[in-house]
Amino acid sequence: DAKTTQPPSMDCAEGRAANLPCNHSTISGNEYVYWYRQIHSQGPQYIIHGLKNNETNEMASLIITEDRKSSTLILPHATLRDTAVYYCIVRVGNAGGTSYGKLTFGQGTILTVHP
């Protein structure tokens, strides 16, 4: 799995867009970018994933650069409930083999949304 680099922490004002960056310069052509978040003392929650096209769902948007070496998760209108640790994970889609469930959750980015 490709290594990812995220800033350790970010702040955002409530109601504003939160843009969380992730660098994955060694990403391979068949690796997807996945985003999860973990609110304090809860289990991680899947947010979104993509291969090379930008993706949007009800929670967030994912922008992947053309060279796929970095991506940005966008929460369009951050609320206090979006305060969490956000994890960027790069992995082959539907990996199988001996890699079952071995998602590597690193340190992530602590996003704090302020009133």
Partner 1 sequence: DGGITQSPKYLFRKEGQNVTLSCEQNLNHDAMYWYRQDPGQGLRLIYYSQIVNDFQKGDIAEGYSVSREKKESFPLTVTSAQKNPTAFYLCATSWSSGANVLTFGAGSRLTVL
Would you say 35 or 78 has its CB closer to partner 1? 35
Rounded Cα gap, residues 27 and 111, in angstroms: 24
Structure tokens at 23: 């660098």
Other CB atoms within 10 Å distance of the CB of residue 105: 12
Interface size with partner 1, residues (CB under 8 A): 27
**Helices assigned H by DSSP within the chain:** none
CA dist 62 and 40 (Å) reads: 23
Least distance in angstroms from the C-beta of 75 to partner 1: 19
In whole angstroms, give the CA distance from residue 44 to residue 35. Answer: 10
Tokens for 92? 């082959």
Q: Least separation, in Å, of the C-beta of 33 and partner 1?
A: 10
Binding mask 17-36 for partner 1 (x = CB under 8 A): ---------------x-x--
Under rule CB under 8 A, residue 5 binds partner 1: no
Q: Scanning residues 86 to 115, which ones bind partner 1 (CB under 8 A)? A: 87, 89, 91, 93-97, 99-108
- Enumerate binding residues for partner 1 (CB under 8 A): 32, 34, 41-46, 49, 87, 89, 91, 93-97, 99-108
